[in-house]
Structure 1
Amino acid sequence: MGVYIRQFPPRARTRIAIGDTDGLWSLQEHLQALTVDELRIANWQRANEGVKPSKQSKPPKPMARPGQGRGRDKNSPERIAKRKAALARAAERRRALAGGEIT
């Protein structure tokens, strides 16, 4: 079935619905993103010309492209669930301290 779905056009709703984002951008869009990345790097180089390395700004990050992992998502469902659990534990601990259960 997966082979059959991969034969669909890149922007087919079925491919997008199953999370296949490899074909969302055409070659032209990828080339435009590459051009933007190169321009950002060139501007960064010119802005930091003659500046001490310790005073230079950080180099620009490339544009995110479909199908490429962007690392950890700050608002991923797992991270949100862990944060809520930690907040609940902290609230429970504060209640226990206020009630004298923990000294």
Structure 2
Amino acid sequence: MVLVKHLPPDGAVQRQIHGESAEWSITDHLLAATVDHLAVSNWMFQCVNTGEDDETPDPPKPVPRPGITDEDGEERGDDSEEEAAGPAVSSSALARFFG
């Protein structure tokens, strides 16, 4: 058991036990979260700076994470990242918030 416990985290045994998520390190997860937060920030900036007559842009989709799928069976981002994007917000509500 000691030998199995100390096998490399990206080895074949870990991939067999944990599936595709064994291929992602903590750095990969942090980088995906950073990209998601930057995309949400850019989306909010775009929503605030569009005119009232312009159509509100669609919120960004999170970076797909291993082992997480949406209701259509396609891979999607982490639940916490999806909550960060939240529901579509009007540009006037964002403008009031950022005043």
Task: Tell me which residue corresponds to 1:72.
Answer: 73
Instruction: Please tell me whether the aligned partners of residues 11 and 23 of structure 1 are also in contact (alpha carbons under 8 angstroms).
Output: yes
User: Which whole-Å deviations, capped at 9, do the CAs of 1:48-69 have from their partners, x for residues lacking one?
Assistant: 1154498101100110011212
Instruction: Please tell me whether the aligned partners of residues 22 and 66 of structure 1 are also in contact (alpha carbons under 8 angstroms).
Output: yes
TM-score by length of 1: 0.52
- What is the root-mean-square deviation in Å for CA atoms of aligned residues? 2.9
Larger radius of gyration: 1
Spell out the pairing of 1:21-100 with structure 2 (5 A cutoff): 21-51=20-50, 52=52, 55-70=55-70, 71-73=72-74
Question: What runs of 5+ residues in structure 1 fail to find an aligned partner?
Answer: 74-103
Q: 1:53, 1:15 → 2: CA distance? A: 53
User: Which whole-Å deviations, capped at 9, do the CAs of 1:50-95 have from their partners, x for residues lacking one?
Assistant: 544981011001100112124424xxxxxxxxxxxxxxxxxxxxxx
Amino acid of the structure 1 residue aligned with 2:65: R
Q: 1:18, 1:43 → 2: CA distance? A: 38
TM-score by length of 2: 0.54
Seq. identity, %: 30
Task: Tell me which residue corresponds to 1:97.
Answer: none
Q: 1:49, 1:61 → 2: CA distance? A: 19
SS at match of 2:57: coil
SS at match of 2:20: coil
| Aligned positions, number | 69
Question: What runs of 5+ residues in structure 2 fail to find an aligned partner?
Answer: 75-99
Larger mean CA deviation between 30-39 and 20-29 belongs to 20-29
Instruction: Please tell me whether the aligned partners of residues 15 and 21 of structure 2 are also in contact (alpha carbons under 8 angstroms).
Output: no
Instruction: Please tell me whether the aligned partners of residues 36 and 63 of structure 2 are also in contact (alpha carbons under 8 angstroms).
Output: yes
Amino acid of the structure 2 residue aligned with 1:39: L
